């Protein structure tokens, strides 16, 4: 009898858990959120799912977290139509925590050289091609989790909102530098 009781517990645990491989690979050392720029392919309000494609064409499916924040829209998923460019902030397990629309109804972009990233004071300093230097605020999420691979004097693209006359950075990434061939 005791064997059957242990077998029943084992079967319940085995059938009630999802294998780690079905959840996607774990990213060693990542405990916060990750962000990426993508284009909405489709959204499924009833299932709380968002399907996006990154610039390399790979499609990803994200679950909408409870309390999902969408900047630049009227409702959590209402304005996310196919073709909309967004920045998705997500936690391991592909759970979207925040979605920032990019474009006229959302974040603006600019490009320059990151001269200083001060995460403690939530600021980033950028030098533009014109030589002008500007200090922008970072959101809490950007200060904690974004741009960890951006080194000093890196050329970056900054995604920002204009909140009460102050530029607030939601996301930034290294800009692709196009190589010019010799003629």
Local confidence pLDDT in tens for the 183 residues of the chain: 444 333 333 333 333 333 333 333 333 334 456 777 777 766 555 567 888 988 888 888 888 888 888 877 666 566 678 888 899 988 888 888 888 889 887 899 999 999 999 999 999 999 999 999 999 999 998 888 888 888 878 999 999 998 877 899 999 999 876 655 554
pLDDT at 4: 36
Within the chain, which residue ranges are assigned CATH 2.40.50.140? 34-101
Superfamily covering domain 34-101: Nucleic acid-binding proteins (2.40.50.140)
Residue 10 host element (H or E): helix 2-16
Fold of 108-174: OB fold (Dihydrolipoamide Acetyltransferase, E2P) (2.40.50)
What's residue 103's pLDDT? 87
pLDDT for position 136: 95
CATH 2.40.50.320 region(s) of the chain?
A: 108-174
């Amino acid at each position: 009898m005791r064997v059957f009781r242990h077998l029943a517990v084992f079967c319940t645990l085995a059938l009630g858990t999802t294998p780690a491989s079905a959840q996607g690979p774990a990213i060693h050392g990542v405990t916060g959120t990750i962000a990426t720029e993508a284009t909405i392919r489709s959204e499924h309000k009833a299932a709380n799912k968002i399907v996006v494609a990154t610039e390399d064409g790979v499609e990803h499916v994200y679950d909408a977290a409870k309390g999902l924040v969408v900047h630049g829209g009227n409702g959590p998923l209402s304005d996310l139509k196919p073709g909309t460019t967004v920045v998705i902030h997500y936690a391991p397990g592909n759970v979207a925590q925040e979605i920032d629309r990019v474009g006229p109804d959302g974040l603006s972009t600019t490009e320059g050289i990151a001269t200083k990233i001060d995460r403690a004071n939530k600021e980033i300093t950028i030098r533009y091609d014109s030589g002008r230097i500007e200090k922008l605020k970072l959101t809490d999420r950007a200060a904690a989790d974004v741009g960890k691979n951006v080194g000093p004097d890196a050329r970056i693209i900054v995604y920002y909102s204009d909140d009460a006359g102050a530029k607030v950075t939601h996301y930034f990434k290294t800009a692709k530098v196009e190589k010019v061939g010799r003629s």
